[in-house]
Amino acid sequence: MTFGVPMKLNRRHLFLSATAFALAPALAAVRPDTARAEDLSGLMDPGPLKDMVMGDENAPVTIIEYASMTCPHCANFHNNVYPDIKKNYLETGKAKLIFREFPLDPRAYAASMLARCADEQFYFPMTEVLFKQQDVWARVDDPRPPLLQIAKLAGFTQESFEACLQNQELLDKVNQVRTKAAEVFGVNGTPTFFINGEKYRGNVSVEAMSEAIDSLL
């Protein structure tokens, strides 16, 4: 999916109708962006939000993923590809994955904020549930009830749910992460991966990502 850099957002924009965003066609496989490879040291600067990392911090391969919670290609990766990558590379110390927000629409901003507001131990489990149940909350007229039910799995109350979505400072920081990715690293769609600085865009299979990682080991 692709989307332009958002204009200044505020809390009132967080929920739009399900028709507020369009779906771009999937790419056949992960492929490197030959225009440029980013310096890994520059990519490792987390910006205004703490990087959320899965895997050994000292792993030889670093995968940085920019994703939108409402992106179906991102959901496909997390539901069908990520489990094998996690088992074969993240849990074996060969690679680590850094997940960064690149929301494509207001609902994705809301979901990203809720994951950030959860206790850190629930960040990745909540992200996984948001992707698994994407159709339940991202494609309905009113996303609040299903998002609240998902948030309650991570310990939210009605009050903490509303407080999170009203946190303008957090919204601004999520937007800063997205804007930096677009303006500095040339991210213009999701999912976008940087594997030791090499950019890959589009749908990715287990085999294609494994090949990219193995080439660096």
Q: Which domains does the chain have, with CATH numbers?
A: 36-214 (3.40.30.10)
pLDDT the model gives residue 36: 52
What does the pLDDT average to over 113-127? 96
Cα angle vertex 29, ends 23, 34, to 5°? 100
- A 10 A CB-CB count for 82 gives 24
Question: Is pLDDT above 50 for 17?
Answer: no
Place 42 in a pLDDT band, splitting at 50, 70 and 90. Answer: confident
Identify which of 215, 200, 204, 210 has the alpha carbon closest to the alpha carbon of residue 90. Answer: 210
The pTM is what? 0.84
pLDDT the model gives residue 77: 97
Question: Is pLDDT above 70 for 145?
Answer: yes
Question: Is pLDDT above 80 for 61?
Answer: yes
Share above pLDDT 90 across residues of the chain, in percent, rounded to a whole number: 77
**pLDDT, averaged across the chain:** 86
Q: What are phi and psi of 204, to 5 degrees?
A: -140, 135
Sheet holding 192-195, edge to edge: 31-37, 198-201, 192-195, 61-67, 95-101, 52-55
Candidate from 34-43, 130-139, 207-216 with smallest mean pLDDT: 34-43
Place 45 in a pLDDT band, splitting at 50, 70 and 90. Answer: confident
